[in-house]
Chain A
């Protein structure tokens, strides 16, 4: 009959085997990602990118609780959306500021970009791929016109930012200027040409005689963006202008051109009698408010006043058909260019270019589909509103196997050693 001591020998071998097996298992576990076995995960948004691959590869993750310490990117949002559709419960909580950013290419040959933004936290730092652009107080919304942006434009505060792609360039067509041979016609043409617009014109100089471009007609939106009717010499074109505006073309009508019945029907307002400009001292520079003015009056219900001076409305706009119409009350705007001091030339040029851009048709600019322009809204769209509970899911593994292993190893070692010692084997 075998003694107790002899009986313990196989038991000791079993314990040794268990010990080796446990160690081997622990080693194997250590080589595996500890996350892959998590059933629920609590994450900070700032670390989301690093954690996503593990989360997506592990089918055992059943819930994700996201603390919003930074704004998730579009890719991260899409991943969370995919997890949610795959049955993972995704909650988020935290205080994220509402931010919105939009980048539009102005309809302007200079190709300037207009950034529209609004953000609860201010000031917003504005930057693009090439570096810092500006700092903007946008609590109640702001727009920034900028010469050019490169790559991704970002408006943000700390880790929370909205970003949009650099807008695509806009195709522009010609501008038709109709006016009599005077300085206003000449300098409107000059301003637009210098700003980069392709200008065509018809300027009557005598009965039956005009200075005009070749191939002036047809007047349609495939050739022209905008018609500028400065005075009653546009009368011959009035029916064509009405059709052009109905098609979506833009019209800028000088106050004097409102004497043409069909243009008056399109215009956002009528014009008062001409008021002389301000009397200037020798050293004064002319600004628009110093120009002779035919103040705009009787605005239609759908019209909006774009510019005012103390004497009244100077520029008004409305939509007519598919097009837009602006009426300009300023008279002799050329004086702004010639007598406007050091800034008059550029200001006059930009004003007319902006006016043309304001009524030029929008030609299919695809919006940025990324949704990063309004990241909080996009997040809510993907994940719903923030979770009311801020309880974090336990980060401790719910699987008891590691604890069992942890108990087996010292236990087996202790018992095996004790058994041997009791047998008198060192």
Chain B
């Protein structure tokens, strides 16, 4: 074998040795970083970083390969270690060939020595790599592999997977139901998952699925293996629930499933704005409504119900108009026009209409929202609603009493024509209006008076009332006394809370203003009558808005002669056993007691205390959202061992849970009061 050939062999050997050394170094770096990262609880992507660092390290150790491209460099490296060659080998490497040179280059057996040197240089990296690998992969104390397949990048060994805590990090992906049209959301290690009812919830983690069991509200759920980890699929229930993950290593994790209910659509009927009575069921009018939903609307329409009949004989018709498909819109307007002619309403019929809307909830819906109902009534021929157009059935014995608004219009017309009229004509027309005003005032007086619980006034009584001047509340009470003779008792049933001021103050104001107007009209001064007439109209409107007062005849009130009938019944009652009603255990008290137990547990076992808080939260979610939020924050603080936040969270929970402390000055034994 020539010296040149031997040089070429050595070069290949050196190249192999460099590669081997780089592998040892790279593996040592990668394994070492991986071990540090996993022990420090770093996320799974740290594996990639470790591998990249190893590759970088290995790459750095491969740089001398460049030098080996030149055979002279190899020869020089040998000459350096074998001085007896006296540059013969370098000369051979440079391509000079001669027998003497060859003999000199092969005169010393350098090739075995340099091979030994090269092999020795590999021992240290190999040992280091071996040691690191042993440390990383094998725990000598337990005899088990320390780090498992969760890393994936190491070996995927099943035995390693056995050692990963599957509950170390739990990832949650929430996919809202399709109808909501929202993107999935992710969270790591949440204490609770809040999502729309019907959302798909995927819990995933690293580690062996066989080590885990799961229950949702006490029902067991199956955990599926997923790559090197596990996954649990759930659907957000309609009621709050608790998901418990239990690992065979004895660790538990609780998650609260907090459903967000899809609110029903909010429907506002804008037209017609008020209930109405029409004289004739003809014409068309517009319907207008606003509909809105938190997720998306499916459709909306107007619903009509027509009631016909009287007494015990009623018939009903219903219909839907203006149907509008909304295809997931959040907000929309709903419009339609309705023809009263087409409904063929008869006098006395009532048309009730409302707007309704459905949302697109396909999980537990659709949610149905409805607006207020408006009534449109067709007046009978023999009735006329006197004071307000917004009214229920008119009085049975109602005369032709003009409304206050109409009286004002008549008076205004009279004032306009005043200059062209003689005084006699003016007075005659003014007296006619005054007469109507008096009739109207009588009707208002009826209402004021009836509100006190007495009979409707007799015609005489009404005239008497109407003919009186301004009335104070005291006047009306006195009048009531004089009419019924027992008004004191009648008032007593109201518990001494005279309802006159409470209910009829605006009507009393109207009553008095009408009196002012009537006086002016009776002396032929219609212009002076207008201001009090307008005051009266405003007062009637105010009364009507404050409380819907139907200026219609009331059913006659029967007064029972209690003294006469008292205990005259033939049948006798029986002793009634009052069923024992156990003391009500207010939920808040029970929750307070639970919270006290949790507080006592907190110092001993914060994890268990946090779990207990989450269990309490599940219950509170249904009826106490503020408490549920406070409990969630407290549980988070406990899990994070955030000692600065825990007292604050605790105080917040206590404030939400119970009444705040009640302070009183003094320490007298009877406390100077019971509240």
Interface residues of A (CB under 8 A from B): 109-111, 116-118, 126, 129-134, 136, 140-148, 150-151, 193-194, 196-201, 203, 205-214, 276-282, 284, 292, 304, 306-307, 315, 317, 332, 335, 347, 350-351, 354-355, 358
State whether A212 and B670 are in contact (beta carbons under 8 Å apart), knowing that A130-B654, A143-B664, A292-B495 are contacts in the complex: no
B residues near A332, Cβ cutoff 8 Å: 495
B residues near A208, Cβ cutoff 8 Å: 572
B residues near A347, Cβ cutoff 8 Å: 675
A355 to chain B, nearest CB (A): 5
How far apart are the CA atoms of A136 and B666 in the complex, in Å?
12
A residues near B555, Cβ cutoff 8 Å: none
Q: Are A150 and B578 touching (Cβ within 8 A)?
A: no
Q: Are B575 and A209 touching (Cβ within 8 A)?
A: yes
Q: Are B575 and A140 touching (Cβ within 8 A)?
A: no
Q: Are A279 and B667 touching (Cβ within 8 A)?
A: no
Nearest B residue to A354 via CB reads: B674
Q: Are B502 and A282 touching (Cβ within 8 A)?
A: yes
How far apart are the CA atoms of A142 and B666 in the complex, in Å?
5
Q: Are A351 and B675 touching (Cβ within 8 A)?
A: yes
24 contacts between A and B (CB under 8 A): A110-B586, A129-B599, A130-B599, A131-B646, A133-B651, A134-B663, A141-B666, A145-B662, A150-B600, A151-B599, A203-B578, A206-B572, A209-B573, A210-B575, A211-B577, A212-B577, A214-B577, A277-B496, A282-B547, A292-B496, A315-B673, A350-B675, A354-B675, A358-B671
Q: Are A141 and B674 touching (Cβ within 8 A)?
A: no
Interface presence of B99 (CB below 8 A): no
Q: Are A145 and B661 touching (Cβ within 8 A)?
A: yes
Q: Are A196 and B670 touching (Cβ within 8 A)?
A: no
A residues near B282, Cβ cutoff 8 Å: none
Q: Are A307 and B670 touching (Cβ within 8 A)?
A: no
How far apart are the CA atoms of A335 and B494 in the complex, in Å?
11
In-complex Cβ contact of B578 among A129, A144, A211, A317 (8 A): A211
Q: Are A140 and B666 touching (Cβ within 8 A)?
A: yes
How far apart are the CA atoms of A366 and B235 in the complex, in Å?
54
How far apart are the CA atoms of A118 and B664 in the complex, in Å?
12
A residues near B584, Cβ cutoff 8 Å: 193-194, 196
Q: Are A131 and B647 touching (Cβ within 8 A)?
A: yes
B residues near A304, Cβ cutoff 8 Å: 670
A residues near B574, Cβ cutoff 8 Å: 209
Q: Are B583 and A196 touching (Cβ within 8 A)?
A: yes
Please tell me the size bucket of the interface on B: 35 or more
How far apart are the CA atoms of A132 and B593 in the complex, in Å?
18
State whether A307 and B589 are in contact (beta carbons under 8 Å apart), knowing that A131-B651, A142-B663 are contacts in the complex: no
Nearest B residue to A316 via CB reads: B670
Interface presence of B558 (CB below 8 A): no
Nearest A residue to B503 via CB reads: A282
Near A by CB (< 8 A), chain B positions 70-90 give none
In-complex Cβ contact of A315 among B583, B592, B661, B674 (8 A): B674
- A-B interface, 7 closest residue pairs, ranked by CB to CB distance from nearest: A147-B658, A276-B496, A141-B667, A131-B647, A130-B599, A354-B674, A209-B573
B residues near A118, Cβ cutoff 8 Å: 667
How far apart are the CA atoms of A205 and B600 in the complex, in Å?
50
B residues near A136, Cβ cutoff 8 Å: 663
State whether A281 and B501 are in contact (beta carbons under 8 Å apart), knowing that A144-B662, A144-B663 are contacts in the complex: yes
In-complex Cβ contact of A134 among B595, B596, B661 (8 A): B661
Q: Are B673 and A307 touching (Cβ within 8 A)?
A: yes
How far apart are the CA atoms of A116 and B207 in the complex, in Å?
56
A residues near B654, Cβ cutoff 8 Å: 130-131, 133, 147-148
Interface presence of B460 (CB below 8 A): no
Nearest A residue to B659 via CB reads: A147
Q: Are B665 and A213 touching (Cβ within 8 A)?
A: no
Q: Helix, strand, loop or mixed for chain A's interface?
A: mixed
How far apart are the CA atoms of A147 and B503 in the complex, in Å?
40
A residues near B651, Cβ cutoff 8 Å: 131-133
How far apart are the CA atoms of A154 and B665 in the complex, in Å?
19
B residues near A196, Cβ cutoff 8 Å: 583-586, 589
Interface presence of B657 (CB below 8 A): yes
How far apart are the CA atoms of A200 and B577 in the complex, in Å?
11
B residues near A148, Cβ cutoff 8 Å: 592-593, 595-596, 654, 658
How far apart are the CA atoms of A264 and B125 in the complex, in Å?
105
State whether A279 and B501 are in contact (beta carbons under 8 Å apart), knowing that A347-B675, A354-B675 are contacts in the complex: yes
B452 to chain A, nearest CB (A): 13
Q: Are A197 and B661 touching (Cβ within 8 A)?
A: no
B residues near A198, Cβ cutoff 8 Å: 582-583
In-complex Cβ contact of A143 among B576, B659, B667 (8 A): B667
Q: Are B496 and A201 touching (Cβ within 8 A)?
A: no
State whether A142 and B496 are in contact (beta carbons under 8 Å apart), knowing that A109-B583, A210-B576, A315-B674 are contacts in the complex: no
Interface presence of B546 (CB below 8 A): yes
B residues near A200, Cβ cutoff 8 Å: 578
Q: Which of B495, B646, B659, B666 has the most CB of A within 10 A?
A: B495
How far apart are the CA atoms of A147 and B653 in the complex, in Å?
12
Q: Are A280 and B577 touching (Cβ within 8 A)?
A: no
Q: Are A142 and B578 touching (Cβ within 8 A)?
A: no
Nearest B residue to A145 via CB reads: B662
In-complex Cβ contact of B567 among A194, A207, A278, A358 (8 A): A207
Q: Are A130 and B664 touching (Cβ within 8 A)?
A: no
A87 to chain B, nearest CB (A): 40
Knowing that A133-B661, A142-B664, A306-B671 touch, tell me 15 more A-B residue pairs with CB under 8 angstroms: A116-B667, A130-B650, A131-B648, A134-B663, A140-B666, A143-B663, A209-B572, A211-B575, A212-B576, A214-B580, A277-B495, A279-B501, A281-B501, A335-B495, A350-B675
Nearest A residue to B582 via CB reads: A198
A residues near B659, Cβ cutoff 8 Å: 147
How far apart are the CA atoms of A221 and B602 in the complex, in Å?
40
Q: Are A281 and B580 touching (Cβ within 8 A)?
A: no
How far apart are the CA atoms of A382 and B497 in the complex, in Å?
63
How far apart are the CA atoms of A143 and B651 in the complex, in Å?
20
Nearest B residue to A146 via CB reads: B661
Nearest A residue to B585 via CB reads: A196
